[in-house]
Structure 1
């Protein structure tokens, strides 16, 4: 049976004498965590619902079946953009070093999901040796094999670019071009064109496409059709949007739409 005595406070999991620990908490739509960091790495994941996560380096939208790898010490905060069932894990720093020192989105396989849920049924300090230890080692193995999803929205520091990026995030389907954004923030288009790669590592169009991909994943998870998403994001047609999507991710949005609508199971029919 699940350990109902588990703390909901992330600080209570940082120095537990176990390589991997798991935390469970449920949050209502609109709730935000305060900016914080962990001594351990975190795989921030929700079995249901959607989260927006912000760090100094970027922003990520996480639907189900996607998780964010957050290395130790990285300041971050999350916002529930729907009702969320968080089921996250923490990994001690020495072991976590093998999984990288930058944030990245990974695909959560059915097996990884079930392993996380199974670890939550064990005591926080699960017996050694024992089932909990075996589950922890399997989680690390599955995490090592997980696919990285190339979706990230790098966040600038320049106030002019920050204003532009914030406006695009607020209205991903805007049809404004970079000249119009430049006029809005009192800069030249040339200045913004120079600042985007300098501040974010991406050119303007690439950055906008990352916003569109993140928005599309959220809308796909909500069950919207590809045509609806294309229209909302300002594409001339569903095929034009699908071409951009496939060029970057290697799969069509129809593939992901089918995935969202299928029940998650270890043994699909």
Structure 2
């Protein structure tokens, strides 16, 4: 018998409260096949890490981040090991002011605590106080700054061959010219096709792939030195500099900030 995160009617039906939420803590990995629903979904992590498959991209959801999935958007979900997180489902008619495309955001303590409160509600029409909290969640989502946590996939078979090889061994430091020779494509063509099909240069795509993998490994509690070596960095400092430049903090401080006990009061 399937284990539901939340009552199915609170996901599929336009009836009932316009916002419903639930929390989930699990000790083992979990995967959900591609699906969609009429309500928009904001999916967040408190500890551990999940990835969301959306169109031709994989989006990583590390701790204290969330992914907004608009109504009717097909997606799949996978968690990595022990995980604690939450989901908010918002009725389609209330999604008009919200982003029309999937979006990754960094969640503020106010949003996380409002969701925590909403997750205790019984799934019936909201009273006045509950409606105010639900409105806070929607307002926080609408105002949240977009984060870059997705990795687009190319379609050209030659590029796919390269990205698949890189994904299986991110420590491979071959230059673009070497990858082009390996895949049987001219370097200039490879460079141009990467930008056209992913919106990123080859170097940017590889850095993004390494960053998302780093977030997974940080969530698993691996030492920074181990992560740096697995991702092909010559030294730990170079990895930490990249992480700080993109995420705005060091891997160690990021892991500490992901502590779910960092709560606001509402």
TM-score of the pair, normalised by structure 1: 0.84
Residue of 161, 164, 176 corresponding to 1:163: 161
The equivalent of 1:16 in structure 2 is 15
The equivalent of 2:188 in structure 1 is 190
Higher relative contact order at CA 8 Å, sep ≥6: structure 1 or structure 2? 2
Residue pairs, 1:44-123, within 5 angstroms: 44-123=43-122
Residue of 206, 212, 215 corresponding to 1:214: 212
CA RMSD of aligned residues (A): 2.7
**Cα deviations by residue, 1:146-202 (Å, 9 ceiling, x for unpaired):** 343223211222222223222222222222333343344443333321111111000
Residue of 168, 179, 182 corresponding to 1:181: 179
Distance 1:154 1:8 in 2: 32
**Cα deviations by residue, 1:27-85 (Å, 9 ceiling, x for unpaired):** 56443211112222211123333211111141112122111111222211111111333
Indicate conservation of the 8 Å contact 2:228/2:239, yes or no: yes
Structure 1 runs (4+) deviating above 6 angstroms are none
The equivalent of 1:238 in structure 2 is 236
- Which consecutive residues of structure 1, in runs of 5 or more, have no partner in the other structure? none
Range with greater deviation from structure 2 (131-140 or 250-259) = 250-259
Residue of 248, 251, 266 corresponding to 2:249: 251
Distance 2:184 2:110 in 1: 51
- The Cα shift of 1:111 comes to 2.3
TM-score of the pair, normalised by structure 2: 0.85
Indicate conservation of the 8 Å contact 1:126/1:132, yes or no: no
Structure 1 residues 58 and 19: CA distance shift in structure 2, 3 A: same
Indicate conservation of the 8 Å contact 2:25/2:85, yes or no: yes
Structure 1 residues 110 and 204: CA distance shift in structure 2, 3 A: same
* SS in structure 1 of the partner of residue 46 of structure 2: strand
| Aligned residue-pair number | 262
